[in-house]
Amino acid sequence: MTSTAEVSGQVVALARGMRGLVRAEAAESERIRTLTDAIVDEMWASGLMAAISPVAAGGVEPSFADMIETWIEMAWQDGSFGWIGIANLPSRFAAATYLPDEGFAEVFSAHDNQVTLGGQFFPNGQGSAVDGGYRLSGSWSFGSGIGHSQYIAAGFFPMDDGQMRWVSEGIPDMRVAVVPREDIEFNDGWYVQGLKGTGSYDYSAEDVFVPFHRTFPLFTRVPYRGSSPATRMGLMPVTAAGHASWALGVSKSMLDDVAELAATKYRMSDMASLASRPTFQKGLAHHVAAWRAARLLVLDAFAAAEAAVAGDADLTPALRADMRAAAVYATDVARSCAEWAHLVAGTSSIREGSRLERAFRDMYTGTQHAFISEKVAIDSAQIWLGLIEDQFGL
């Protein structure tokens, strides 16, 4: 098995190696509203697509720090490319980690692990329990990364004789189905402001049989395979790390582009370059410092939880609240950095096709996601204050 020392930095390097291709293909990805074949093919050829999955599924099981830095790098290159990184890679991680052995053999082993997975994990469907599995029906929106996915994830509520199944008082059972592409109806709908290149279509299923072995509990932390702490932390922390990293990466691209632009940028009726203006200098210092602080908070929160689990401690509600609150905070900081960069760049930030303009649109699309909403911050604070013992959705 690959050692932790060997893995460190390896996945980030795979992502960094795609800079030239992603830059060249970004506009075409936006035009066709999903990543180009060239990008997807290179993600497979380089090993990036499978990297965070368990070793049994062709991955290297990197640490949270490595995952975070990889996703920052991908989003820095292009918002849509970064979003695919936090959609397809965690989706694949979850299925490879939590599917029972029979399901893993059918989905992964039978395809030599060359399997891309995307979709919506929130339970917008219902699965009527039948012999051997479920009859799945439902409609899902914003299925991130399904434009090029062979299997589609679909969250659902299991139903027994028309009645919802409960795992504890007030908490319904929620599962994720892994469905072959040919069993899904794609309703498209992906005409949006930003993240245009992610292929995040709406989709539906009507009375599709899904065997039990191609489903897994949404909030499980009991892995069938994989030895990294992440596999024993569940999908929520991996998803939270992804959202925080994505926002940090997109905003960093805007800060970097504005800093580069500043030396040659002159505003109308102003003889001084943008870089020479004290107000710009102060603003840059403030926002770069805020960005760095947010990144360190994210790294600290996830490393602390990871270390606790590695030491066989419980993933407590407080640790989960710390990670989720860090993700919300980093997103808020990143959005503030993006807004400042957009304003100081003046007309340079509105020219269609530049990375700066695309990143701004991407930021204000990606940060609408419910996963990093103010409710998450409120739930986290209530745990810290002792007002509630736990919130299962964290």
Is the separation of the CB atoms in 96 and 114 below 8 Å?
A: no
What does the alpha-carbon distance between residue 273 and residue 259 come to, in Å, rounded to a whole number? 12
Is the separation of the CB atoms in 82 and 248 below 8 Å?
A: no
Taking CA atoms, 14 is separated from 69, 143, 149, 187, in Å, by 11, 25, 20, 33
What pLDDT, on the 0 to 100 scale, is given for residue 265? 64
What pLDDT, on the 0 to 100 scale, is given for residue 95? 98
Centre a 10 Å sphere on the Cβ of residue 282 and count the other Cβ atoms it contains: 10
Taking CA atoms, 221 is separated from 63, 87, 315, 392, in Å, by 17, 19, 10, 12
Total-model pTM:
0.95
Q: What domains sit in the chain, N to C, each tagged with a CATH number?
A: 4-98 (1.10.540.10), 117-217 (2.40.110.10), 233-385 (1.20.140.10)
**Comparing C-alpha atoms, which of 296, 247, 273 is closest to residue 345?**
273
Q: What is the mean pLDDT of each run of 10 residues along the chain (394 residues)?
A: 58 97 97 97 98 98 98 98 98 98 98 97 97 98 96 98 90 97 94 96 97 98 97 97 98 96 72 85 97 98 98 97 98 98 90 92 94 94 96 90
* Count of residues in the chain: 394
**CA 298 and chain centroid, separation:** 14
What pLDDT, on the 0 to 100 scale, is given for residue 3? 43
What pLDDT, on the 0 to 100 scale, is given for residue 263? 80
What pLDDT, on the 0 to 100 scale, is given for residue 4? 43
What pLDDT, on the 0 to 100 scale, is given for residue 2? 44
Strands 175-180 and 163-164, by their bridges, are unpaired
What distance, in Å, lies between the first and last C-alpha atoms of the chain?
31
Angle at 294 between CA 328 and CA 287, to 5 degrees: 110
Tell me the two tokens of residue 101: 């052995």
**Comparing C-alpha atoms, which of 74, 96, 86, 10 is closest to residue 47?**
10
3 state SS of 30: helix
Helical packing angle, 317-344 and 374-384, nearest 10°: 140
What pLDDT, on the 0 to 100 scale, is given for residue 6? 53
Is the separation of the CB atoms in 293 and 326 below 8 Å?
A: no
